[in-house]
Amino acid sequence: MTPFAYHASPDEQDAIASAVAGGRYIAGGTTLIDLMREEVEEPKRLIDINQLPLHDIRETADGLVIGALARMAEVAAHPAVARMQPLLVETLLEGASPQLRNMASIGGNLLQRVRCPYFRTLDAACNKRRPGSGCAAIGGINHNHAILGTSDHCVATHPSDLAVSLVALGAVVRIRGPQGLREFPVEALYRLPGDTPHLEHTLSPGELIVEVFVPYGPYAQRARYLKVRDRASYEFALVSIAAALEIDAGVVRQARLAAGGVATRPWRLAACEAALVGQPASQATWRKVAPLSVAGARPLSGNGFKIELLQRTLVRTLELAGEAA
């Protein structure tokens, strides 16, 4: 591990100023410390933000506000989250082992780096780690890689389960930085790789996630998260679906869908959402819209199975969401 300086920030202003001067935020450290040990990440200074008052989870008239430093386990166990947004509880429990859930923060989860083995292997070509070096995954072992949102420069899959469900629920991320406070949909936090895959998010230098707002909607109680993986414990998704439905008199009035494990960022299934509205909440409808989920897919040599698996996972998740109450 490369030597680094450490600073514990007492407030947001100090943290932001320290980051602008050259430093990396650290909360739970469940991703960053691993990458530092592997010398993939070599920050010169760590800014500990755990003293900042960003741990609250509170209910408002129109949704939930979750502090960026709230731990995954705290959010999953919170009664307001279980009552208003059960999809988040299911997603968080599927997203990591108990040990990681007790350490990992919500903000850190949203900004975790990819799990591509070539990104974490220093002698492998990786445009995320070393821009311009190439992408070893495209012609290599790519069983776990993306089929949507890829480019000729990167096919790494976005790793966060939580981000998938937040995108499906229309959540908003609130950011504080040198220019003050701003907010935007969680979906807009992530960039497609294009020809700059080393730029993964839309945050400016020094900007800090302070909280996430999850609006409450009539679809929230008919919501499920289904994660398909190679093994049941401590494994990232091959395919995952977050589905939230508003159903009235047997007809879909509103649908919110996002996919994980198949794309370079949490993948909103907008075409499927539009096709579901006004249709009967039935197995026939779920199967009819499923092919829309793979429009534009570019499978690689080892992950073509995700074309079929994504459609099957979507159908099953819609079944579960339709049955939820």
DSSP string, 53-87: S---EEE-SSEEEEETTSBHHHHHH-HHHHHH-HH
pTM score of the predicted model: 0.96
**What was the pLDDT predicted at 231?**
86
Closest CA to 153 of 196, 202, 113: 196
Q: Residue 305 domain-assigned?
A: yes
CATH code of 233's domain: 3.30.390.50
Q: Residue 235 domain-assigned?
A: yes
What is the span of the domain harbouring residue 263?
223-323
Number of domains in the chain: 2
Q: Residue 53 domain-assigned?
A: no
Q: Residue 250 domain-assigned?
A: yes
Q: Residue 157 domain-assigned?
A: no
**What was the pLDDT predicted at 293?**
98
Cβ-in-10-Å burial (0-12, 13-18, 19+) of 252 comes to: buried
**What was the pLDDT predicted at 234?**
72
CATH code of 10's domain: 3.30.43.10
d(CA 293, CA 265): 15
Q: Residue 269 domain-assigned?
A: yes
Q: What is the pLDDT along the chain (325 residues), one digit of tens a residue?
A: 899 999 999 999 999 999 999 899 999 999 999 999 999 999 999 999 999 999 999 999 999 999 999 999 999 999 999 999 999 999 999 999 999 999 999 999 999 999 999 999 999 999 999 999 999 999 999 999 999 999 999 999 999 999 999 999 999 999 999 999 999 999 999 999 999 999 999 999 999 999 999 999 999 999 999 999 998 777 899 999 999 999 999 999 999 999 999 999 999 999 999 999 999 999 999 999 999 999 999 999 999 999 999 999 999 999 999 997 5
- Give, in order, the Cα–Cα distances in Å from 82 to each of 63, 161, 163, 304: 13, 17, 17, 36
User: Residue 5: CB partners within 8 Å, gap ≥ 6?
Assistant: 44, 45, 46
Q: Residue 126 domain-assigned?
A: no
Q: Residue 130 domain-assigned?
A: no
223-228, strands of its sheet edge to edge: 223-228, 239-248, 251-260, 267-268
**What was the pLDDT predicted at 107?**
98
